[in-house]
Amino acid sequence: MTGAYQFTHAAGYEGGIVLTNAILHLPRKADYTFFPWCTYTDPELASIGMNETAAKESGLKYAVWTEEFKNNDRGLAEGEGLGRIKLVLDAKEKPLGCRSSDCTQGNLSANGSLP
C-alpha cells in the first residue's frame, strides 16, 4: 500500500490498518519497528528490526553479537557452514534487530521476530 516494503505480508498489514482507520474509525499507524522480511536467494537473507547503521543513527548505545552458522548446532546438523546471524542489542541486551543469512533462513526468521 505504501510501497515501503514490497512483500505480500506488508500489504496485508497495511490493508488492515487502512480498514481499521476507515471503517472502524480507530486511529492506527503502521509500525515497522520489528517488521520481518526474507529474500529467498542462496543463501537466504532475513532481517527484523534495526541494523547497525540505524542503531548508530538513532544515537542508541548498542552492541553487536555475531555467530557463524558453521559453529551453530543447526548448521552442524544441516551440514551447512555458510551463513551467520547478527544481533543488534541495546545497553540492556534487549534485541533491536536481527540480520541473518543461511540456507534455511525463511524457517528461522520467525524466531527473531519475538521481541
| pLDDT at res. 114 | 44
CA neighbor of 96 nearest in space, from 59, 71, 70: 59
pTM: 0.70
Report the DSSP beta bridge partners of residue 106: none
Q: Which of 30, 97, 33, 88 lies closest to 63, judged by CA?
A: 88
DSSP 23: T
CB 55 within 8 A of CB 97: yes
Where do runs of H (alpha helix) occur along 23-58?
Answer: 52-58
* Grid cell at residue 98: 536481527
Dump pLDDT digits (tens) for 80-98: 778 888 999 999 999 999 9
pLDDT at 27: 92
